[in-house]
Amino acid sequence: MEHDAEEREVHLRVEDLSVEVEGRKILHGVNLDIRCGETHVLFGPNGSGKTTLLMAIMGFPRYKVTSGRIVLGGEDITHLPPNERARRGIGVMFQRPPTVRGVSLAQMVSLCSRDGVDVESLAADLNLSEFLSRDVNHGFSGGEIKRSELLQLLAQDPRIVLLDEPESGVDMENLQVVGKAIRKLLQKDLRRRRTRCGLIITHTGYILDYVEADMGHVLCEGTIVCSGNPREQLEGIRRYGFEECARCTR
C-alpha cells in the first residue's frame, strides 16, 4: 500500500468527539492530541468506550459521530471511509478480529502489505510461518490471533497504529512475542525519535513494560477524566481502582 500523504506530518487530533452506537450515546466530547512520534495509552474500565473511540477513529459506520471531528495531519477525516483512513496511514489491531474463511493469512498480508515488505521474515519473527497457509484467524488461539493481527499491521507499515488491548487473551509466553513486536512497531530511533505514532488501549497496563509511552489517558463512562504520566496513572489505578480516577482532582 502506498502512503499518499507521506510528506504530511502524522499528527492525530480528536476534537470534542461524541459518538453514538445503535442510538446509544457512548462518547461525550473526547479530546486527544497525538503528535508526531508520540505514543499514548488509554486506560479505562470495561464498557467505558475505549473500543468505541478506536473504531470511530478508524471510521466504521456503526460508530456514528454526532459532534466533533477527527483530524489527521491537518486533514479532516471525520467523514472518510475506513479504507481511505488506512490509505492515509492509520493501522489498527482489533480486540476481537473476525475469522475470514476462504482467505489465507498469506493472501491477507499481501493485500495489506506495503511494497518491499519481507512477509516471510516478519512471519518468522512472530512464529507464524506455518500459519500463512491457513485461513485468517480460523481456529487460532488467543495469542495466535494477536500475532496474526500484528503481522498484518507490521506488513501494512502504518504511520499511526491503534492497538486495542493487544495483551488481552495472551498467555505469558505469547505476551513476550506480542510485546516485542509492538516495541519494534513503536521504537524510537537513535535520535530518540519515532517515525510512527501510536494509541494503545490497555486494561492491564502490561504493555507499558515494552513500550515507552509519552502520555496516558483514563476514560470513564465515555469521558476522559485524566490525562498525564501513564506510569503514575497505572500505579494509581492498580492501587485505588478506576472509581477513584473519576473522583481524583489532579
* Residue ranges that bind ligand ADP, judged by CB under 6 A: 21-22, 24, 26, 44, 46-52, 62
Q: How far is the CB of 22 from ligand ADP (least distance, A)?
A: 4
Picked from Mg ion, ligand ADP, none, the partner binding residue 40 (CB below 5 to 8 A depending on kind) is: none
Nearest distance in Å: CB 162, Mg ion: 12
- From Mg ion, ligand ADP, none, interface partner of 2 (C-beta below 5 to 8 A by class): none
Which amino acid is located at 207 in the chain?
Answer: I
Chain center to CA of 123: 20
Cβ closest to ligand ADP, residue 194 vs residue 203: 203
Q: Least distance from C-beta 200 to Mg ion, angstroms? A: 12
Which residue is closest to Mg ion by CB?
51
Q: Which is nearer to ligand ADP, 61 or 116 (CB)?
A: 61
Q: Is 154 exposed, middle or buried (0-12, 13-18, 19+ CB in 10 A)?
A: buried
In angstroms, the Cα distances linking 132 to 82, 104, 127, 181 are 25, 6, 10, 17
Nearest approach, Cβ of residue 26 and ligand ADP (Å): 5
Beta carbon of residue 178, minimum distance to Mg ion (angstroms, whole number) = 17
Cβ 224 to ligand ADP, closest distance in Å? Answer: 12
Rounded CA separation 76/71 (Å): 4
| Residue 230 interacts with which of ligand ADP, Mg ion, none, CB < 5 to 8 Å by class | none
Which among Mg ion, ligand ADP, none contacts residue 73 (Cβ within 5 to 8 A by kind)? none
The residue count of the chain comes to 250
Nearer to ligand ADP, 51 or 113 (CB): 51
From the number of C-beta atoms within 10 Å of its C-beta (0-12, 13-18, 19+), residue 78 rates as: middle
Which parts of 33-92 interact with Mg ion (CB under 5 A)? Answer: 50-51
Q: How far is CA 220 from the centre of its chain?
A: 18
**52 interacts with, out of Mg ion, ligand ADP, none, CB within 5 to 8 A per kind:** ligand ADP
- Asked if residues 46 and 241 have their Cβ atoms less than 8 Å apart, the reply is no
Q: Where are the beta strands (DSSP E) in 35-159?
A: 39-43, 63-72, 75-76, 90-93, 100-104, 135-136
Q: Which residues bind Mg ion (CB under 5 A)?
A: 50-51, 95
